[in-house]
Amino acid sequence: MKAVNPRGLLQVVMEELMEQKKVELVDDVFHPDFLNHNPAPGYPGDREGLRQFFNDLFYAFSDFRVDYTHLMMDGDHGVVRFVIQGTHTNEFMGVPGTEKQLVLPAISIIRMQDGKIIERWSEQDNLEAMNQLWN
């Protein structure tokens, strides 16, 4: 991955890591001391936990896609609003595939250090996700 500015780094996360499912980019864009302040249940809040989460997410939602609607940077902090979508075809977090569609808006706030993302806070309506998939 070529060097990018902070805004470009967020675009790499959204367009390459998430949209193109290039999990191998985790080490390129996330700092070795990365801290995910609110990881998904069952996943550690470090870089390896994030890598495992993406692998599991992309496996569970085989047609996973993401669209980001807002991306803003202010110094070493960034905010991205996005919507994830996909069909729940395989097990995710202990729940067998339901073949139901998920459409879930989310917002992530990141802090950068040394050209990589070192902290992440993310908010999404997990109750809405459960309602879409399991009702």
Structure confidence by residue, pLDDT tens digits, 37-63: 999 989 999 999 999 999 999 999 989
C-alpha to C-alpha distance for 126 and 47, rounded to whole angstroms:
22
Burial class (CB in 10 A: 0-12, 13-18, 19+), 30: buried
The pLDDT of residue 2 is above 80 = no
CATH 3.10.450.50 fits 6-134, yes or no: yes
Residue 32: pLDDT above 90? yes
